Structures are given as C-alpha cells and as structure tokens.
C-alpha cells in the first residue's frame, strides 16, 4: 500500500513526466488546433494503456527459449529493436487503430498525426513515472528526451495507419521508421560515454520537432473553408 509520502513522490513523478505533454497541449490551444481537452485526454489514456500490451509481448518474447541469444553478436540488437522498440510500436499501432475505428464510427475527424503524437506522450508519462520510481534522478532527463522520442514515434505510427488505408507499402515503411528511430535511440543510450547519450537526445528532439512542424503545416488545411 502506498503511504502519503509514496503518493506524493508518485504525483511528483507524474507531473515531471507530463511536462512535454502539457507544453504540447498549450501549443495546440495557442495555435487554435481543433483538439479539445477531452480528445487530448483520451489520446493520452490510449497511449498510456498501450504500455500493457507492450509489457505482455515483451514478457512472451523473453520467455521463448533461445529467442534472444544475449551472449551472441546479435543478442543486444534483437533485445533493443525487437523486444523493446517493435513491441512498443506494435502496441501503439493496435490501440490507435482501435481508437481511430471508434472515432470513425461516430463520424469524428481522426487527425491521425496529432492523435498519434499525444498517444506517444501518454505512453512516455506512464513509463517515465514507473521507471522514475526506481531511478528518480533520470526522471527530468526522460521528460526532455524519452517523452519527445515516444511522441515522435507515436506521430509516425498514427500517420502510418492513415497511409495504410490508401498505400499499404507506404504505411508499412512509415511504421518501420518509428521502430528504427526508437531502436536507434535506445541503442545509443546503451553505448557507454557522454557522446552517445547526447546523440540520443539529439535524435529524440530532432524527430519530435519534425513531427511538430508536420502537424503545424496542416493548420492552413484545417482552417481553410
């Protein structure tokens, strides 16, 4: 059972982990992007919920005898790109597909790019809070690197779902790019030294800014009448 101190620490971790998501919501409001608080909250919850199928898939994969030969040359690569990056992006793909299906049933606009980005931030909030509980000193760093990384990958997964409807090959490539970016980021963090960590942060911020600019460039189309 959580004590009052434990609840306070958890609340603090959640607040720190939410910094990027709060900044994005403020930007949506200032830019008058048609994304309500309810829509934003639902996307965050869907993203957070995608943590659970990811954990399930990761548990299943690691329980397969010989699937990850950690002592071999390709063991770490399989761990980073398949058990972590691929399972997390697949989980995002699954839950976002369900959300988009529900929205269309109610004739609501999908806005796949923005919804995917917010869902990625929701995943990062829950993941960062859980990891921060055991390593509090990493929480602030994760808020400004891991959160943008998940947001950018969520953006790519969201757009891949829309692309797949008209061009399956393009959709698969878009989804694959999310897995590759995610894997490269994690791989850089595994390399000892300061320079690889800086490179990982640079990757996260670069792809996040690219996602933000892509969403921003849709604004004239959204507001045109």
Q: What is the pLDDT at residue 219?
A: 65
Identify the residue with better confidence: 159 or 2. Answer: 159
Q: Tell me the whole-structure pTM to 2 decimals.
A: 0.87
Looking at 62-76, 116-130, 149-163, which range is the least confident one?
Answer: 62-76
DSSP state, residue 137? G
Interior CA angle at 155 toward 27 and 118, to 5°?
Answer: 50
**Residue 128 sits in which domain range?**
4-223
Q: What angle do CA 208, 210, 213 make, to 5 degrees?
A: 110
Structurally, the chain folds into a number of domains equal to 1
Q: Give the residue among 44, 60, 131, 59 at the shortest CA–CA distance from 92.
A: 44
Mean local confidence (pLDDT), 155-182: 95
pLDDT of 215 above 80: yes
- pLDDT value of residue 133: 60
**Which one has a higher pLDDT value, 127 or 210?**
210
Asked if the model's pLDDT at residue 154 lies above 90, the reply is yes
Sign of the CA dihedral with 151 first, then 156, 161, and 163 last: positive
Give the model's confidence band at 134: pLDDT under 50 very low, under 70 low, under 90 confident, else very high. Answer: low
At residue 176, the pLDDT reads 97
Q: Is the pLDDT of residue 65 over 80?
A: no
The single residue listed with the structure tokens 């878009």 is: 174
Please give the pLDDT value at position 9: 59
């Amino acid at each position: 059972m959580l004590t009052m101190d434990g609840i306070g620490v958890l609340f603090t971790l959640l607040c720190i982990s939410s910094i990027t998501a709060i900044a994005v919501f403020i930007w949506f409001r200032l830019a008058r992007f048609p994304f309500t608080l309810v829509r934003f909250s639902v996307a965050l919850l869907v993203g957070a919920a995608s943590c659970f199928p990811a954990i399930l898939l990761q548990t299943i994969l690691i329980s397969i005898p010989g699937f990850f030969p950690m002592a071999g040359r390709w063991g770490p690569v399989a761990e980073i790109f398949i058990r972590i990056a691929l399972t997390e992006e697949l989980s995002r793909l699954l839950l976002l597909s369900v959300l988009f299906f529900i929205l269309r049933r109610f004739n609501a606009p999908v806005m796949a790019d923005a919804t995917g980005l917010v869902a990625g931030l929701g995943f990062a909030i829950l993941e960062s809070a859980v990891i921060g509980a055991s390593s509090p000193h990493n929480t602030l760093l994760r808020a400004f690197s891991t959160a943008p990384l998940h947001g950018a990958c969520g953006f790519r997964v969201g757009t891949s779902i829309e692309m797949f409807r008209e061009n399956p090959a393009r959709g698969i490539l878009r989804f694959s790019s999310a897995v590759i970016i995610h894997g490269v980021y994690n791989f850089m963090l595994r390399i000892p030294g300061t320079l690889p960590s800086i490179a990982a942060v640079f990757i996260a911020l670069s792809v996040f800014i690219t996602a933000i600019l892509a969403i921003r460039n849709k604004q004239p189309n959204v507001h045109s009448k």
